[in-house]
Amino acid sequence: MADLRFGVMGCGFWAPYQIAGWMELGGVELVAIYNRTRSKAEAVAERFGVPRVYDDAQAMLDAEKLDFVDIITDVGTHARFTLMAAERGIPVICQKPMAPDLETAEAMVAACRERGVPFMIHENWRWQTPIRAVKQAMSDSEIGKPFRGHILYANSFPVFENQPFLKELEQFILTDMGSHILDVARFLFGEASRLYCQINRVNPEIKGEDVATVMMTMGEQVTVTCELSYASRLEHDRFPEVFIRVECERGSVELGPDYWVRVTKGGRTVSSRHVPPHYPWAEPSHDLVHSSIVPCNANLLHSLRTGEPAETSGEDNIKTVRLVFAAYESAAKRTAVSIAE
Per residue in 252-292, pLDDT (tens digit) is: 999 999 999 999 999 999 999 999 999 999 988 889 999 99
To the nearest whole number, what is the mean pLDDT of the chain? 96
Share of the chain above pLDDT 70, in %: 100
Q: Is residue 21 part of a domain?
A: yes
The sign of the CA dihedral 79, 81, 84, 85 is negative
Do 153 and 29 lie in one domain? The reply is no
* CATH number of the domain bearing residue 235: 3.30.360.10
Q: Is residue 248 part of a domain?
A: yes
Single-letter residue type at 169: L
Do 44 and 98 lie in one domain? The reply is yes
Q: Is residue 310 part of a domain?
A: no
**Band of pLDDT at residue 340, cut at 50, 70 and 90:** confident
pLDDT digits (tens, 9 = 90+) for 23-78: 999 999 999 999 999 999 999 999 999 999 999 999 999 999 999 999 999 999 99
Last residue of a domain, one of 122, 145, 163: 122
Q: How far apart are CA 301 and CA 120, in angstroms?
A: 10
Do 24 and 113 lie in one domain? The reply is yes
In the prediction, which pLDDT does 163 show? Answer: 82
Do 8 and 131 lie in one domain? The reply is no
DSSP symbol at 10: -
Do 147 and 101 lie in one domain? The reply is no
The sign of the CA dihedral 129, 220, 325, 112 is positive
- Who's near 321: CB < 8 A, 6+ residues apart? 97, 98, 99, 102, 105, 179
Do 79 and 209 lie in one domain? The reply is no
In the prediction, which pLDDT does 284 show? Answer: 85
pLDDT digits (tens, 9 = 90+) for 301-334: 999 999 999 999 999 999 999 999 999 999 999 9
Give the structural domain span for 216: 126-281+319-338
Do 193 and 226 lie in one domain? The reply is yes
**Band of pLDDT at residue 19, cut at 50, 70 and 90:** very high
Do 59 and 90 lie in one domain? The reply is yes
**Band of pLDDT at residue 190, cut at 50, 70 and 90:** very high
Do 15 and 145 lie in one domain? The reply is no
pLDDT digits (tens, 9 = 90+) for 128-151: 999 999 999 999 999 999 999 999
Last residue of a domain, one of 95, 122, 149: 122
In the prediction, which pLDDT does 78 show? Answer: 98
pLDDT mean over 159-188: 94
Beta-bridge partner residues of 71: 9, 94
Number of domains in the chain: 2
Q: Is residue 328 part of a domain?
A: yes
